[in-house]
């Protein structure tokens, strides 16, 4: 079996509205390998978020197949995500996927640490929550509520929440979209650090081409089409990234 984490074959998504239909994703096929940093680049409305939602089991494609390879005691096991029921998809999200959102989506009534604990509580083998807070440089801010944190800090809590459960892949939806340039660089640094420390593939969608400089591969999208996939032979260190 080919060693991969995710594989999409002819993925298509159509949204239906009042008398109209919009094809948000057209025949996308791709493979995601272990430990790589993939950036999905494209303008607004190009289908980036639709693709990410499908990879994360947040939405079902109208057509096509999506496979996930799970590591078990007996070796790798290929699972067709598109054939799973709602509960199994929930389990996939719970066990395999870490999410980082553009607007952080922290639970406002829970403190920073409690937001991380919420995610940890769903994992069989979570990492230490306080250690995660240290990893994202938020030591001493554990008891603060989201409304008491800056945007950059909230996004770092969001990353801690995503990685505390040892995800098999980390999906980031415009992780720097709501941040200023200084905080954006900090977040990208953190994502690269996570990739290096945990070895899980990271897929980040963005419309900012700067992030592509540090990626292993770049998926270019336009009008719902996965136009091309470019391998970055020499990704630059984050410190050299020009934002």
Partner 1 sequence: MVRIGFLKMFRDMKRSLSAYLICIFIVTIGFVGYSLMLVTRTEMGEAKDMFFEQCNYCDGFAEVVSAPATVARELEKIPGVMSVQGRIVQKIPVEEMGSDDIHLKVISQTIDGMNRVYLENGRNPAAGEDEIVVGTGFYGAHDLEPGEKITISPQGTNRQMTIVGHGVSPESMYLVQNLAEMLPALDKYDAAFVDIQTAEKIWGHKGEVNQFLFRMKPGADFEDIKEEVEDVLDPYGVTSTYDGMDEVSVAIFQQELDQMEQMSAYIPVLFLGVAAVILYILLNRLLGQQRTQIGTLMALGVRPRLIRLHYVGYGLTVGLIGGCVGGILGNYSAAPLTDYYKVFYQIPDVTKGFYVQYVIQGMVMAGGFCSLISYICTGMVKKQTPAGALRPEAPKTSRRFFMEIIPGFTRMFTVPGIMGVRSLARHRRRTVLSLCGVACAYMITATLVSMSSLFDIFIFSELEENQQQDIAVSFTELIKEEDALEILSNPRMQKMEGVLEVGAQLKSRKDDLDVTISAIDRDAQLTRLYDAEGNAVYTRQEGIVLSEFMASRLGLQKGDYVTLKMTWPEEKEYEIPVTDLMAQYIGTTAYMSKEALGDLTPYHDVISSVKCKAPEDVREELKQQVDDSPYEGIIETRQEKIDQYRSMMGSMNMILFSMAFLGVVVGIAVVYTSSLIYYEELKREISTLMMLGMRSGECLDVISVGQYLLACGGILLGIPMTMWASRVISTGMASEMFTIPDFVEGKALVVSVFLIFLSVWFSSRLILRKMKKLVPVEMLRERE
**DSSP letter string, 53-85:** HHHTTSS--SEEEEEEEEEETTEEEEEEGGG--
Count the site residues for partner 1 by CB under 8 A. Answer: 33
Q: Which of 60, 62, 208, 232 binds partner 1 (CB under 8 A)?
A: 60
Is the CB of 36 or the CB of 117 nearer to partner 1? 117
The residue within the footprint of partner 1, chosen from 79, 84, 122, 229 (CB under 8 A), is 122
Residue 110 interacts with partner 1 (CB under 8 A): yes or no: yes
Residue span binding partner 1 (CB under 8 A) among the ranges 51-59, 63-71, 199-207, 230-238:
51-59
Q: Smallest gap, in angstroms, from Cβ of residue 157 to partner 1?
A: 12
Q: Report if residue 238 touches partner 1, rule: CB under 8 A.
A: no
Among 2, 16, 75, 87, the residue binding partner 1 under the rule CB under 8 A is 87
Name, in order, each residue with C-beta under 8 angstroms of 236's C-beta and a sequence gap of 6 or more: 213, 214
Q: How far apart are CA 206 and CA 1, in angstroms?
A: 31
As a whole number of angstroms, the distance between CA 226 and CA 27 comes to 8
In terms of C-beta distances under 8 Å and separation of at least 24 residues, what long-range contacts does 132-141 make, across chains too?
132/160, 132/163, 132/164, 133/157, 133/160, 135/160, 135/163, 135/193, 136/160, 136/190, 138/112, 141/112
93 touches partner 1 (CB under 8 A): yes
Which is closer to partner 1, CB of 138 or CB of 164? 164
How far is C-alpha 64 from the chain's CA centre? 21
Closest CA to 60 of 92, 37, 104, 30: 92
Report, in Å, the least distance between residue 115 CB and partner 1.
Answer: 9
Footprint of partner 1 on residues 145-204 (CB under 8 A)?
161
| Tally of CB atoms within 10 A around 132 | 25
Q: How far is the CB of 192 from partner 1 (least distance, A)?
A: 22
CB of 29 to partner 1, least distance (A): 20
**End-to-end CA distance of the chain, in Å?**
39
Q: Which residue has the tokens 């290929």?
A: 78
CB 98 → partner 1: shortest distance, Å? 9
Which residues of the chain form contacts with partner 1 (CB under 8 A)? 49-50, 53, 56-60, 86-87, 90-95, 97, 99, 101, 103, 105-110, 114, 117-119, 121-122, 161
């Amino acid at each position: 079996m080919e060693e991969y984490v995710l594989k999409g074959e002819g993925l298509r998504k159509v949204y239906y509205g009042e008398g109209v239909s919009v094809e948000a994703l057209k025949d996308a096929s791709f493979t995601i390998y272990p430990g790589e940093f993939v950036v999905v680049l494209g303008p607004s409305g190009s289908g980036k978020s639709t693709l990410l939602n499908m990879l994360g089991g947040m939405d079902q494609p109208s057509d096509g197949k999506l496979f996930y390879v799970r590591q078990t005691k007996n070796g790798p096991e290929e699972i067709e995500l598109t054939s799973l029921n709602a509960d199994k998809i929930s389990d996939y999200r719970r066990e395999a996927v870490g999410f980082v959102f553009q607007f952080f989506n922290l639970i406002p009534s829970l403190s920073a640490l409690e937001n991380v604990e919420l995610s940890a509580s769903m994992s069989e083998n979570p990492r230490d929550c306080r250690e995660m807070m240290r990893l994202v440089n938020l030591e001493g801010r554990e008891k603060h509520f989201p409304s008491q944190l800056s945007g950059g800090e909230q996004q770092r809590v969001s990353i801690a929440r995503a990685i505390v459960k040892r995800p098999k892949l980390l999906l980031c939806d415009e992780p720097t979209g709501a941040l200023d340039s200084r905080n954006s660089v900090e977040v990208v640094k953190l994502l690269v650090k996570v990739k290096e420390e945990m070895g899980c593939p990271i897929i980040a969608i963005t419309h900012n081409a700067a992030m592509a400089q540090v990626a292993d591969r770049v998926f270019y999208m336009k009008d719902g089409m996965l136009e091309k996939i470019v391998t970055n032979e020499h990704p630059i260190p984050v410190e050299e990234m020009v934002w």
